[in-house]
């Protein structure tokens, strides 16, 4: 409408009226813009969006980062994701760091032409299953992320604070740091290797979020 008004101004035989018309229309357009912008901001702060599928979204985000490396190594990737997986209590940035780090470990450790599998699931913990579960709340719902890849690395060191499958512990600094972040977010991280099958398994469990988490569209996007 602004462009049309500018073009039409030159077509008026009465130059003074053309300028008046141009000012009047632009003024009305400005009022409409202001009204629409205010209405959109109103909708943004009054229409919360339900937070969902965060775990899967972040996994896909991280996988895109390592796609080239997986293709170069000829690695076959398989995914089995639970539909409507509950949100976890972990903040997005912490979860992004955890997923990025364990996938980085998996991508760098998997054998050429090997395979990587990702699985997500939720479950209800019925009491304490083992000593590790003391960090988790009894009779609660949990979200689990599993990574399995072809490749076996013998472990010589252990991390005393957190028990693992068969009492094994990865010596890599990356996973040690990840384990600490997992622990701080009330989670459990387990590391298991199967020498006969040549497989490595990493499991991460977090309490599921009981509340319905919502977020809002940033109103700054309507300022332009």
Tens place of pLDDT for every residue, the chain, 224 residues? 666 655 565 565 666 766 676 777 777 777 888 888 887 777 777 777 788 899 999 999 999 999 999 999 999 999 999 999 999 999 999 999 999 999 999 999 999 999 999 999 998 876 555 545 545 555 578 999 999 999 876 554 444 444 344 444 445 688 889 999 999 999 999 988 888 888 999 999 999 988 777 766 666 665 55
Q: Are residues 54 and 40 in the same domain?
A: no
Are the CB atoms for 36 and 223 separated by under 8 Å? no
Residue 72 falls within a domain, yes or no?
Answer: yes
For residues 139 and 157, state if they share a domain. Answer: yes
Q: Are residues 28 and 84 in the same domain?
A: no
Is residue 15 in a domain? yes
Domain tally for the chain? Answer: 2
Same-domain pairing of 6 and 112: no
Q: How far apart are CA 62 and CA 79, in angstroms?
A: 14
> Which residues does 143 contact at the CB level (< 8 Å), separation at least 6?
55, 85, 86, 87, 88, 120, 121, 122, 205, 206, 207, 208
pTM: 0.69
Q: Does 197 lie in the same domain as 94?
A: yes
In this structure, are 22 and 132 located in the same domain?
A: no
- Concatenating the DSSP letter of every residue in 79-125 gives EE--TTPPPBSS-HHHHHHHHHHHHHHHHHHSPTT-EEEEEEEEEE-
212 within domain boundaries:
no
Residue 218 lies in a domain: no
Residue 219, domain member (yes or no): no
User: 94 lies in which domain range?
Assistant: 50-207
Let me know if residue 150 belongs to a domain.
yes
Do residues 39 and 104 both lie within one domain? Answer: no
Q: Could you give the CA distance from residue 131 to residue 164 in angstroms, rounded to a whole number?
A: 10
Q: Are 26 and 71 in a shared domain?
A: no
CATH number for the domain that contains residue 106:
3.30.565.10
Q: Are residues 28 and 70 in the same domain?
A: no
Residues 177 and 100 in one domain: yes
């Amino acid at each position: 409408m602004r462009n049309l008004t500018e073009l039409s101004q030159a077509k008026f035989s009465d130059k003074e009226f053309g300028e008046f018309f141009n000012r009047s229309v632009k003024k009305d357009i400005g009022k409409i813009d202001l009204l629409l912008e205010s209405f959109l901001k109103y909708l943004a702060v009054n229409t919360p969006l339900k937070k969902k599928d965060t775990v899967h979204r972040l996994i896909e985000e991280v996988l895109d980062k390592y796609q080239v490396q997986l293709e170069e190594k000829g690695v076959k990737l398989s995914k089995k994701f639970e539909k409507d997986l509950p949100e976890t209590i972990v903040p997005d940035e912490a979860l992004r760091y955890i997923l990025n780090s364990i996938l980085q470990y998996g991508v760098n450790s998997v054998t050429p032409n090997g395979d990587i599998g990702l699985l997500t699931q939720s479950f209800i913990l019925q009491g304490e299953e083992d000593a590790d579960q003391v960090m988790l709340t009894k009779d609660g719902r949990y979200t689990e992320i599993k990574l399995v890849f072809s490749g076996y690395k013998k472990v010589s060191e252990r991390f005393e604070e957190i028990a693992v499958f068969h009492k094994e512990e990865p010596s890599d600094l990356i996973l040690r740091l990840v384990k600490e972040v997992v622990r701080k977010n009330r989670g459990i991280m387990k590391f298991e290797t199967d020498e006969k099958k040549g497989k490595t398994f990493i499991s991460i469990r977090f309490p599921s979020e009981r509340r319905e988490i919502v977020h809002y569209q940033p109103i700054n996007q309507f300022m332009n």
